[in-house]
Amino acid sequence: MALSVLFELSEYENAFIETFEFSTSDATPEADLSFISELDELNYWTYMGSDTRPPCEEGVRHVILKKIQPIAADQLERFTNQVGKSEFAKGGNNRVI
């Protein structure tokens, strides 16, 4: 299953994003996932698709939560910069084909 949380630029910081340990290395940031219990898991869209990373195998249920979460501009910048270091990243969080 792939869980997607939508974010909207806001003046308010997002407590979940603050749990990420951003670094200058190429390592994937780690985060405290306990925030999931606080999300509204009853209102979502879902579809069957493929994995979002190679080898992109099919049969993955994607769940997109309807409630949009806030994210402050500096948090978005730090997150985008960290994701951009990924070997699969191509401009932000888009992946190479």
Average pLDDT per 10 consecutive residues for the chain, totaling 97 residues: 90 83 58 70 90 84 92 88 63 56
Is residue 54, in this structure, part of any structural domain at all?
A: yes
Domain limits for position 38: 2-83
What is residue 78's predicted lDDT score, i.e. its pLDDT? Answer: 84
Q: Considering the domain boundaries, does residue 89 fall inside one?
A: no
Instruction: Catalogue the E-assigned strands of 51-87.
Output: 58-65, 69-72
CA distances from 75 to 21, 29, 72 (A): 12, 13, 5
pLDDT at residue 96, as a whole number: 57
| Structural domain count of the chain | 1
pLDDT at residue number 55? 82
| Element housing 80 (H / E) | helix 73-83
The reported pTM is: 0.67
What pLDDT score does 29 carry?
56
